[in-house]
Every structure is written in C-alpha cells, then in structure tokens.
Amino acid sequence: MSDPDPQQPIGPTDTDVLMMRRALELARHAAEMGEAPVGCIIYETGTGRVLGEGANLRERDNDPTAHAEIIAIRAAASAVGDWRLNHCTLVVTLEPCPMCAGAIVSARLGRVVFGASDPKAGACGSLMSLTQDTRLNHRVAPVAGVLAHEAGELLRAFFRARRGNG
C-alpha cells in the first residue's frame, strides 16, 4: 500500500493557481462548445512542465468517459510514456467524480488540486473520499478550493443558461 508522498506539497502552490487559471480557460472553451465547463491540467510537480490537458467532451464524442480528467490523464501518460504519474499534479476546476477519482488512484497521481466542490458527485471529500480510501493501494489527499469561486460561478452560469434562467 502506498501512502501519500511526504515530499509532495500539502497546500496549494503558486504553480497550482497558475495551472488552475489555465484549467479555467479550458473550461470556458468547453462551455462554448456546449459541454459542461470543466477543465483539467496535469503538470510535473517539480518542474511545472505541462504534460496533459483536457476539457469535457462527453457531448461532442457521445462518450460518458470523456471527462476532462480522463482526457488529461491519457495525454500525460502518453507524454511520459508510462501510466504511473506519481510525480505529477492534476489540477481540475470541479471536484472529480467517482470514475475520475478511480482513474486518479489508478494512475498513481502524486497530487490532486480542485476548484469547486461537487456535493452531488464529488469523490474527493464531498460525497465520498475515494482518493483517500485506505482500502486502495494508492492514496492522495486532495487540495480543495483553489479559485473555487471562479470555478463555481462558471458552472452556475453555464447551467443557469442551459435552464433558460440567465
């Protein structure tokens, strides 16, 4: 069983905030395409080098697994040439769902940073804590709330407009 790496930063870093700003750009682009506005970046924790990014593409691809995190994880693993991403940080605008949290654990990501919490489907502390479940072979404590207001407002505005309320 692997425990969280004591070398990994616990709170948000300046790089996390910078990457969250890029993830928000990706989320806005997703919204322009009619997708739920979620964006994700994976970067190498020590260097800040971006290895993968993604935005929701479920509608475009008719693919229930085309979440921003899954797309970014695939891109990062391809860039690294390895499925193990323990030296990386995943930054996403919305708290990962159970599917994405499972992929985060499976990819052995070193850190997870998210913006808005998701009380209906969040699996990094809101609804459940899948990424910290001691029964699994890898754990990663999430860093929550980075640019949460901006991420949350982007989601609220998108869904208000979809419902015709704004």
The secondary structure of residue 5, as a DSSP letter, is P
Q: Are 142 and 114 in contact (CB under 8 A)?
A: yes
Residues 92, 16: Cα–Cα separation, whole Å = 10
Query: Are the C-beta atoms of 24 and 3 separated by less than 8 Å?
Result: no
Cα torsion 26, 15, 88, 101: sign: negative
Q: Does the annotation count 35 as an active-site position?
A: no
Active-site residue, selected from the candidate residues 35, 53, 69, 95: 69
Question: Which amino acid type is present at position 41?
Answer: I
Is residue 116 a contact partner of residue 37, using CB atoms and an 8 Å limit? Answer: no
Using CA atoms, how far apart are residues 84 and 166, in angstroms rounded to an integer? 43
- Helices 148-163 & 14-32, crossing angle to 10 degrees? 10
* CA 156 remoteness from chain centre: 18
Active site (catalytic) residues: 69
